[in-house]
Structures are given as C-alpha cells and as structure tokens.
Amino acid sequence: MSPDEPTASDQETVLQNQTGDRWYENGLIYGVDVKSFQDSDGDGVGDFPGLTDRLEYLDRLGVTCVWLLPFYPSPGLDNGYDVTDYYGVDERLGTPGQFVRFVREAHERGIKVLVDLVVNHTSDRHPWFQRAREDPESTYRDYYVWAEDPPEPEKEPIFPEEESVWTYDEVADAYYYHRFYDFEPGLDHSNPAVREEVCEIMDFWLQLGVDGFRIDATPIIVQKKGLDSTELDDPHRILKQYRAFASQRNADAIFLGEAGGEPDAVRPYFGEGTGDEMQLIFNFTLTDYLFLALATERAGALDAAVDQLHLPPEHGQWANFLRNLDELNLEWLSEGERGTVLDRFAPDDEMQIYGRGSRRRLAPMLDDRRLLELAYSLLLSMPGTPVIPYGDEIGMGDDLSLDGRDAVRTPMQWTDGPAAGFSTADPDELIRPVVSDDRFGPDGVNVRDQRSDRDSFLRWVTRAVRTRREYPVFGRGSATFVETAPESVLCHRMDGDSTVLAVHNLADQPASVSVGTDVDGLAPIFDDERSELTATDPLSLDLAGYGYLWLRAGGGPL
C-alpha cells in the first residue's frame, strides 16, 4: 500500500458517500458453504469449480448475491471461522484462480459476491498468534490481548461450553482474551497495525472482484477487549474507517453486518445516514419475533417487533432471514417466549442448543408445506433484503446426529441417491454425511425432482422471488401495519414508487378479513391458490389456514 493511499489508521479519513448503485436493496442473498455445495473432482469436498457450474441454478432461482461462508485455510474447528490465512483458499475448495473464475462468471450473470470477513479473531494456529505467544517482543504480541492476571471479565463467552473469555497459554505464560472458542484469540483493533492488516485483507479480496463483506461478529470486533489499555474510545470510528477504505477501493462495495441485540443497540451500526458503516444488518430480532408469531399464531408479536426496529437510515437496510447455518438463536425473546417457540418447533433436547435456540433446519421445524410457504411469504414481503441458506429453497432437512450446528451443514441435495449428486465420492467419504432419513433425505428432497414438478417448493420459491423482484417497493418502500381482526392476521403495506399490500393468516383455521385501507384498485399478484379476494371496497379477503395474498395498487390490467 503506498503511503498516500488511505489507511485505517488515518484518523482523518472521511467517507464521501459514493454509493451510486444500491443493488443490495432489491434482491435475494444466498448463503453458500462452498465445501458442502457441489464437489467437482470427486474428493468428497465441495469446491469453487462445482459452485461455478451451479451458477445457472442460482440464476434461475432469482439469486442476486451469493454470500460465501469462510473458504480460507483453516483447521475447520468452527466451520472455517477459525482462519489461518486471510489471503488463501482452502486447497480442498480450489485455487485462487478458480475463485476468480467463480467471481467473474457470477458477475457475467449479474450476481454479486460477498465474502465473510472474519477479523474479530484468528485461529490460534494463525502465524500471527504463533509468533505472539512465542515472543513477547514480537510485533504480533500486541495483535492480541494478554494478561498475566486477568481482571474479572465484563462479558460472558458467546458459547456456553467455554468457561471464560480468558484462557491461559503455556507458551506465552499469560492469558489471552477471546469471546468465541478458546482456539479463536481475539484481535485487538485498537492497535493500528491490526487495522492496517484488516485493510490489506479487504484490499486483496476487492482486487479479486468481490462486491463486499459480511462482517463477522460486527459489534464484538470493536468492543472493549478485556483490558482498559485496549479500550476503544469510539468503536464506530473504526468501523467507519474500514468502510471508508473499502469504499475508496470500490464505491459500490457493501458491508453486511452480523450484529444481534436490541434494536437500539444495533441501529448505530448503520452509521450516520450517509451509509458510512453497514449497508445491511442481519435482522435477528425479526427472526425471533417471526418464530414467536408462528408459534402463537398471533400477528401482534410481529408488528410490535417491526415497530421496534424503526426504519434504518437512508442507506441502510435490514437483512431478513428465517434460518442461517448457525443455530436459530432465540436469545432476544423472553424466557417464556423462547420456551413457547421451542415447545412448538424444537421440543426435544437434541433439537436445542446453547440453552437459547434450535439446531434444526426450517422445513423439519415447520413440518407443513402451508406453514413453510407462509414463513417464506413473510420473509419475502417484509421490509428488507431476504437472505436464505443453501438448501432451504428445496426444504432440506437436518442431521441431528452431527455435532452442534453441523446438523444444518449437510451436503446440498441435487439428485436422489446416496451422495445426492453432491459428489461422485463414496458416500462414506464425504465432508459430511448426506441427510439419510426417508422424508428429508435425497430420495424425498432434491433439486432435480423439484425442478420438474410444477407444484414443488423450489418452483414455488422461484415464483415468489420473481414476483418480489417485479415489485422493488418490497425492498425499497416504507412499511406500515394495517389494523385487522382477527389477531392471527397480519396485514402490512409497503409504499414507495408504487404500493403493495401483503396479508398473512398465521393460524391453521381459515379467516375472513376486512381491511380498512384507502388504496384504490387493489389486485392480487401472488397467493397460496387457496385464499381469495372477495371485494375491494372495503378490501375483503377469505384467507385459508396459513393463507397469504399479496396485492398491488393501481388497477389496470395485470
């Protein structure tokens, strides 16, 4: 990096807002764990050539952005979030050249690519940590946070199986700080040298063509790390510097923040209205309340949650999701509410994890095609950008015999048969076993069968995504909730360059609804084929159990 280029430690760096194309506002983000998606060379591990060959599939599904989970060299003790080399590609997954080819071919189809930026911590096997523990004089020592006699921790470890955020290292004869696993020592971002490293890493991947980063553990990166000396005077300033740096390199690059918490605590990570921190932030609160609404069949749980979220600033947007490839984390509900959701959707101990969530995939949890469509219909019509993990679009299942969160990280199911078209390797030699139960295994759930079946969930998701994309107001509009009775019915309205309305019945029982709205000429654009619009003035609907209907304003031919 030349000295006159902006650096993270340049305290005066100010982001001029350069974001021209707000491409992230109206699309579908698809999360891919490359090693579990498609193996091209028969070694039992998914890879970049395999993923590249599946771009046509993603394109047809309506994916506008692929989020790649960590694919860097790693011991793999935390599904790749324990990185040992920020500049490499795990050899089993391909070469840097194959990565670049993937990005180029994705771009040729108009699909953007986000990569995970995991800089809250490194693996303990990262050369920086190795040098740091061996040599107290090394520059790398201060990349991490050490204490001979650690103070009483202010924070708990994120994973309950960890005893403390301080772990003793024999080589260093000192304790180091970590919020996640003990093999993931936390980097100290109050050290300017660490910030330089972060910028170099971003620079590298932006040069290779990526369109932005999912910022792993966003608030934790810049939280005070255990010692007063590492206190970050203004955490947002550091994130703004990272963002300014990325924007200098690519004005349209975005940050998708992983920040869970109360809305008021999370909102500041959007920055200050000029888009100077995160453009997108995962909407953990909405997920929790959406599951509460489904479990209780009460719409109120959801509109209260959306009220709490307020609108993000001009350049920000919530990234909505039903499931990701971690646990379904219900920690933002009260204990009673969490119990209600778990009783309904993950009643057995083996389905639960960390005392706060479920480790099941969406389809087995909801266990009813009508409910699955309802949940997806909510996801796709709520204000924000929808994010789905690979495999949920075909209703893939889980394997609860696998450890912890690996239950939902099984190979993608392309065809029927033992290795599910994921790999030509012996099914016993795959990176993870394919789901084997009768209903959710590849004989029951696979892409090939669903592609040729017009009633399949895949074809339904594709239609829903296409409809949403035809009405950008779903992504860009502002939302209001329209009062309706009964309490199982949620009606929300999005206003922008046009107006759309979505009505959802969260109960198993049918409901007749009359909606007080001044919108003229409403006409259905998407529905469950069981519910009906019976009158437009006033707007009256007969909703089937778990039924839904989207309408657009404006009259005229459809």
Residues annotated as part of the active site: 216, 258
Among 539, 520, 397, 503, which residue's Cα sits nearest to residue 457?
397
CA separation, residue 359 to residues 324, 352, 467 (Å): 10, 6, 31
Query: What are the residues facing 539 on neighbouring strands?
Result: 515, 536
Cβ-based nearer residue to ligand NOJ, 261 or 313? 261
* Residue number with the smallest Cβ distance to ligand NOJ: 81
**Between 118 and 549, CB nearer to ligand NOJ:** 118
Binding to ligand NOJ in span 505-524, by CB under 6 A: none
Rounded to 5°, the CA angle 103-105-110 comes to 90
Region of 73-81, 102-110, 149-157, 227-235 interacting with ligand NOJ (CB under 6 A): 73-81
Least distance CB 37 / ligand NOJ (angstroms): 17
User: What is the x/- site pattern for ligand NOJ, positions 441-480, by CB under 6 A?
Assistant: ----------------------------------------
For the bound state, the minimum distance from the C-beta of residue 326 to ligand NOJ, rounded and expressed in Å, comes to 5
Of residues 199 through 258, those in contact with ligand NOJ by CB under 6 A are 216-217, 258
- Euclidean distance between CA atoms 379 and 395, whole angstroms: 15
Of 116 and 399, CB closest to ligand NOJ: 116
The CA distance from 505 to 510, in Å, is 8
Say which residues have a Cβ less than 8 Å from residue 272's Cβ, sequence separation at least 6. 313
- Quote the Cα angle for 102-108-109, to 5°: 95
Q: Does 280 bind ligand NOJ (CB under 6 A)?
A: no
Give min distance, CB of 78 to ligand NOJ, in A.
Answer: 5
**The amino acid at 396:** M
Distance of closest approach, residue 80 Cβ to ligand NOJ, in angstroms: 8
- By rule CB under 6 A, what string of x and - marks binding of each residue 319-358 to ligand NOJ? -------x--------------------------------
Q: Which of 79, 248, 320, 488 binds ligand NOJ (CB under 6 A)?
A: 79
**Contact call for residue 78 and ligand NOJ (CB under 6 A):** yes
Go through 275-289 and write b for each residue having 16 or more CB atoms within 10 A of its CB, e for each that does not: bbbbbbbbbbbbbbb
Sign of the Cα torsion 301, 304, 307, 308 reads negative
- Indicate the residue type of 356: R
Hey, which residues does 168 pair with through a beta bridge? Answer: 175
Q: How far is the CB of 116 from ligand NOJ (least distance, A)?
A: 8
Q: How far is the CB of 386 from ligand NOJ (least distance, A)?
A: 18
CB of 35 to ligand NOJ, least distance (A): 14
Judge contact between 82 and 69, C-beta under 8 A: no
Q: Cis link prior to 153 (omega < 30° from 0)?
A: no
In this structure, which amino acid lies at residue 472? P
Closer to ligand NOJ at the Cβ: 114 or 473?
Answer: 114
DSSP H helical ranges for 250-333: 263-266, 284-296, 300-309
C-alpha dihedral, 357 to 360 to 366 to 369, nearest 10°: 160
Find the shortest distance in angstroms from Cβ 415 to ligand NOJ: 28
- Sole binder of ligand NOJ in the list 72, 81, 144, 289 (CB under 6 A): 81
Stretch that binds ligand NOJ, among 75-83, 98-106, 371-379, 527-535 (CB under 6 A): 75-83
**Smaller CB separation from ligand NOJ, 82 or 337:** 82
The nearest distance, CB 213 to ligand NOJ, in angstroms, is: 13
Q: Other CB atoms closer than 10 Å to residue 98's CB: what's the count?
A: 17
The C-alpha atoms of residue 405 and residue 398 are separated, in whole angstroms, by: 10
Distance CA(142)–CA(192), nearest Å, equals 10
Closer to ligand NOJ by CB, 117 or 290: give it. 117
Burial class (CB within 10 angstroms; exposed 0-12, middle 13-18, buried 19+) of 95: middle
| First-last CA distance in the chain | 55
In the complex with ligand NOJ, the residue whose CB is nearer, 49 or 389, is: 389
**Assigned token pair, 260:** 């869970």
Residue 180 lies near ligand NOJ (rule: CB under 6 A): yes
Q: State the number of binding residues for ligand NOJ (CB under 6 A).
A: 9
Element counts in the chain: helices (H) and strands (E): 16, 22
Pick one of 61, 118, 309, 319: the residue that binds ligand NOJ (CB under 6 A).
118
In this complex, which beta carbon is closest to ligand NOJ, that of residue 182 or of residue 216? 216
Of 76-84, 386-394, 408-416, 463-471, the segment contacting ligand NOJ by CB under 6 A is 76-84
Give the interface segment with ligand NOJ, choosing from 74-82, 268-276, 385-393, 479-487 (CB under 6 A): 74-82
Q: What are phi and psi of 384, to 5 degrees?
A: 135, 180
Three-class SS state of 187: strand
Q: Is 33 a residue that touches ligand NOJ (CB under 6 A)?
A: no
Considering beta carbons, is residue 118 or 363 the nearer one to ligand NOJ? Answer: 118
**Closest to ligand NOJ by CB, 88 or 418:** 88
Of 307, 350, 70, residue with least CA distance to 205: 70
Beta-carbon count within 10 A of 486 CB: 16
CB 180 to ligand NOJ: min, Å: 4
Q: Which stretch binds ligand NOJ (CB under 6 A): 78-86, 132-140, 238-246, 339-347?
A: 78-86
Give the footprint of ligand NOJ on this chain (CB under 6 A).
78-79, 81, 118, 180, 216-217, 258, 326
